[in-house]
Amino acid sequence: MRTYPSIILVNGNMAGNLTSSIWQLQYMYGASASCVVSAGSTAVGTLSLQGSVDGIDFTTLGAPVSPATLAVTSGGNTYIFDVTQTSVQYLRITYTATSGAGTLNIDTYNKGL
């Protein structure tokens, strides 16, 4: 089994809403995403894991993917999505800003052949 790392968001400005690049899961057994909020950030908002079967129409995933949303409450934290049970081929992560500012970076790790 191999691990395939990729970067889907670099230095995203958390003062507004963000959408990552699309992350493809074809031929993968599982995946995870590490969402790193910069130290000293005052950003407050929600990270959502969204899936699509066609790479065009995305929706926030539900059970058995848990959690599909994560609350961002302070800077200097890392938020993890662990994707082991989904049949969608494409994923992306959105950030919906509530208040504050900061920087968001997202790395993904796919496990597969």
Q: What residue has token string 């130290």?
A: 39
pLDDT for the residue 26: 79
3-state helix, strand, coil in the chain (%, to 5): 0, 60, 40
Domain range for 79: 2-112
Total structural domains within the chain = 1
Q: What is the CATH number of the domain that holds 91?
A: 2.60.120.1110
pLDDT for the residue 30: 81
Peptide bond into 5 cis (omega under 30): no
Q: What is the per-residue pLDDT across 75-86, written as a single tens digit (0 to 9) for each?
A: 899 999 988 777
- Say what the pTM is: 0.92
